[in-house]
A = this chain, B = another copy of it.
Amino acid sequence: MLRPFPYSGCPMRPALLAIALSFAIVAPALAQDAAKPKYRSAKEIIDAAPASAWRDLDPANTLYMELPAGRVVIELAPGFAPEHVANIKTMAKGGFWDGLAIYRSQDNFVVQFGDAEGEEAGKAKAYPSGTRTKLPAEFTRDAKGARFDKLPDIDGWAPEVGFIDGMPAARDPKTGKAWMAHCYGMLGAGRNNAPDSSIGAELYVAIGQAPRALDRQLSAVGRVVKGMELLSVIPRGPEPMGFYEKPEQRAPILSIKLASDVPEAQRTPLQLLRTDSQAFIDATEARRNRVDGFYTIPVGHIDLCNVPLPVRATPAK
């Protein structure tokens, strides 16, 4: 009766990593010990990261989705979908989602929210003043000028994967395009068949195995950075697509507000580990080759969507 396993985050007994490093100057006896440096877990590395490795979540670029169970914090991705993000901000300021609901929950795929009656004449909620009702598709962006923190790991879905603006992303050197990857927690804009039929009013969040087949086929607009555990447990709707049959089954949304429109005392100040920091690079390597007494095989690989993007409460000054 063995309780606490498998581990994902908290190895208890870090063991030695069997990679020899050379320490030219130390004495032989000492060198033997030093030659096998202690394996440092991702958590140890992240806990020891300097303040400069962390970036503040920008309230002007952050949504608070208030559910009865608590707050979901979303970082928007204006670098990937500037027009959708601007429109979403307009709608949030106008209280568009306040009192609306999550009306779809499809197991191992997405939850989707917005106006469930949006397509029924006479029932659809009016868009706030200033909302644009036609936007271009923003499936990809020009990779030029975007800092790409590339992973060395191969990926079946894209020629290159890594991080842009702190978001899991992919890049194609041939086309010069980059795009967000549909990892767990990714926020995207639902659309109809026409590529340019989304405006950001109806949104979905990936809640299962990364649906990477959606990459470059919808406009990804951001990522949940805190509170995924509130969205992922929303009861599933009926198969195959998870739309609830009855309005009372929907999960209500109290409000979605831009963090900068919320009084400072009511905000959730967060920091994210920079994907170009040494701590992030080292922590990812510690996961790629985890040999900590429980895990014994240095796997030598990590999938883009298995790389955690560490978040912490902003430390008091």
Contacts and interface: CB of A to CB of B under 8 A. Distances in A.
Interface of A: 1-10, 13, 43, 103, 106-110, 112, 114-119, 124-125, 153-157, 183-185, 188, 190-193, 195, 197-199, 201-202, 204, 208-218, 228-229, 232-236, 239-241, 243, 287, 290, 293-297, 299, 301-303, 305-306
A274 B113 CA distance: 36
Contact of A1 (B119, B233, B240): B119
26 contacts: A1-B114, A1-B115, A1-B124, A2-B118, A2-B198, A4-B190, A4-B243, A5-B190, A5-B202, A6-B214, A8-B109, A9-B239, A9-B241, A10-B240, A13-B193, A156-B301, A183-B209, A209-B306, A210-B306, A211-B306, A212-B306, A213-B295, A217-B294, A217-B297, A229-B236, A233-B233
Contact of A296 (B195, B233, B295): B195
The residue among A116, A228, A232, A243 with the most chain B CB atoms within 10 A of its own CB is A232
A228 B9 contact: no
Given A3-B116, A209-B184, A157 B301 contact: yes
Contacts of A119: 1-3
Given A299-B157, A301-B157, A6 B202 contact: no
